[in-house]
Amino acid sequence: MTVGVGAATGVTVEEVLAAVDAVLPAVQGPVRLATLDARSTEPGLREAAARRGWPLTGHPAAALATVPVPAPSARVAAAVGTPSVAEAAALLDGGQLVVGKTVHGRVTVAVARQDVDLRHHGDVEATPGLVDLAVNVRAGTPPDWLRAVLHEAVDSSAGYPDARTARTAVAAAHGRAEAEVLLTAGAAETFTLLARALRPRRAVVVHPSFTEPEAALRAAGHPVERLLLAPPGHLLGGVPEDADLVVLGNPTNPTSVLHPAETVAALARPGRVLVVDEAFADTVPGEPASLAGRADLPGLLVVRSLTKTWGLAGLRVGYALGPADLVAALAAQQPHWPVSTPALAALRACTTPAALAEAAAAAHQLTEHRAALLAALPAAVEVVGAPRSSFVLLRVPGGAQVRERLRERGWAVRRGDTFPGLTGDHLRVAVRDPDTSRAFGAVLAEILAEVRSEVLAATTTSEETR
């Protein structure tokens, strides 16, 4: 629950708490206060947060001004630079307004409920016994030659990990200096390291996208702004000029949209850290939009993963590429020996010319398999955007009900409503072999026909009883 607070200069702690207590719903989870950054140093506000053990966040007026609110005020805009403080501060992180702007003397409050579970991921959906279309890991992996590498590495794991040769291999694969390579225990670790190492003034996460970057930033106490890309194309644009930390995916999970390299590169500038999550970059033939080799762009940090193409989700192995000073700052937040001996062996093995050629062949095959999936979908299903990766985002009438019926018939797909900007009608579906896709399409068509019949029957019954 986020309570947005607008307050006059000199407001007391008693005034603040009385206003908050008057509107805060009785049933609630964690609570935090949010306000204009110029007010976040008010002693009354700070003491109110301290007494209740609630975090207090101040947002720039420019950020609050971007939030659509039910009750904007021209008077407030003239005074502080944003037409809303309380409602905008409550809604800045998304969610639903449950208490609108309410004035209590010198304090104005509003309450929003954050209803997106940023820690929900596809592995929760893929329970045993179901056909897994919820997790975006290439089927049939890891290949036999990589299994052999991992088995040998386990036999060598009595000694402490030595990352030097793996770092050299990754640097060579991308034409980067070794000082520009950070090896991590899974690509997701990079986001936690960023949250620990940086103190962003205005952090913007582009959504819909992988939710771990925002979750990591929030867990570290950083305020986060969401930039929701417009459907149906979800094309990149509208990044605030003064954002000093920008995070996006390319290709983007869950939309499967591939942003042009030049569009993403144009976001880099001095004074900004631009984080591009390229966990799925190698699923696109030729990696046309990858910026992994661009050491010339200021503040660019590219995050990569071996999870998807090589089937190593359980091994936790990834890396980041960026300026040496930023890499060093992130590395300083890691414990000693952060990457295991088997993970280091995988990094070396998967960056050889032979492995890269195999990954390229898999990307071309994926293109064919994705086309087969799209062809197998029922006409009532909307494909969101132009998918380019190993998954597609669908908009399905009655999506939540359809997802449950798919589970009942043995199919797991990824729900979309835990991604900011999406709804229960959105489902993410992993690309599999054509036979699996055709079987999925047939089951989905049956379920949609059943749902339509039930809705029609209910409508007819309702009309007959009038």
Question: CATH for 122-138+358-464?
Answer: 3.90.1150.10
Q: What radius of gyration, in Å, describes the C-alpha atoms of the chain?
A: 24
Q: Is the dihedral of CA 444, 447, 451, 453 positive or negative?
A: positive
Report d(CA 258, CA 196) in Å as an integer: 29
- What is the structure's pLDDT at 463? 56
Report d(CA 448, CA 450) in Å as an integer: 5
Q: What is the DSSP letter of 384?
A: P
DSSP string computed for 182-207: EEESSHHHHHHHHHHH---SSEEEEE
Q: Which runs of consecutive H residues, i.e. helices, occur in 291-376?
A: 307-310, 324-331, 341-349, 353-376
Quick check: 239 and 227 in contact, CB under 8 A? yes
Distant-in-sequence, close-in-space partners of 56: CB < 8 Å, separation ≥ 6: 32, 33, 34, 35, 40, 45, 46, 49
**Would you call 24 exposed, middle or buried from its count of C-beta atoms within 10 A (0-12, 13-18, 19+)?**
middle
Q: How far is CA 155 from the centre of its chain?
A: 36
**Structural tokens at position 418:** 């835990």
The C-alpha angle with vertex 354 and arms to 348 and 356, in degrees rounded to 5, equals 75
For domain 2-113, the question of CATH label 3.30.420.180 is answered with yes
Quick check: 6 and 35 in contact, CB under 8 A? yes
Report d(CA 330, CA 319) in Å as an integer: 11
- For the chain, the domains span 2-113, 122-138+358-464, 144-355
Q: At what angle do helices 187-197 and 212-219 cross, to 10 degrees?
A: 30
- What is the structure's pLDDT at 309? 96
Per-residue model confidence as pLDDT tens for the chain (466 residues) = 889 999 999 999 999 999 999 998 765 567 889 999 999 999 999 999 999 888 888 888 888 888 888 889 999 999 999 999 999 999 886 677 889 999 999 999 999 876 677 878 888 898 899 999 999 999 999 999 999 999 999 999 999 999 999 999 999 999 999 999 999 999 999 999 999 999 999 999 999 999 999 999 988 988 888 888 988 899 999 999 999 999 999 999 999 999 999 999 999 999 999 999 999 999 999 999 999 999 999 999 999 999 999 999 999 999 999 999 999 999 999 999 999 999 999 999 999 999 999 999 999 999 999 999 999 999 999 999 999 999 999 999 889 999 999 999 999 999 998 998 888 899 999 999 999 999 999 999 999 999 888 877 766 665 555 5
Quick check: 240 and 267 in contact, CB under 8 A? no
How many C-beta neighbours within 10 Å does residue 75 have? 8
Amino acid in the structure at residue 309: T
Quick check: 183 and 339 in contact, CB under 8 A? yes
Name the CATH code of domain 144-355 (choices 3.40.1210.10, 3.40.50.10600, 3.40.640.10, 3.40.50.700): 3.40.640.10
- What is the structure's pLDDT at 217? 93
Could you write out the three-class secondary structure of 220-246?
Answer: CCCCEEEEECCCCCCCCCCCCCCCCEE
Quick check: 427 and 416 in contact, CB under 8 A? yes
**Structural tokens at position 59:** 């947002």
Quick check: 33 and 54 in contact, CB under 8 A? yes
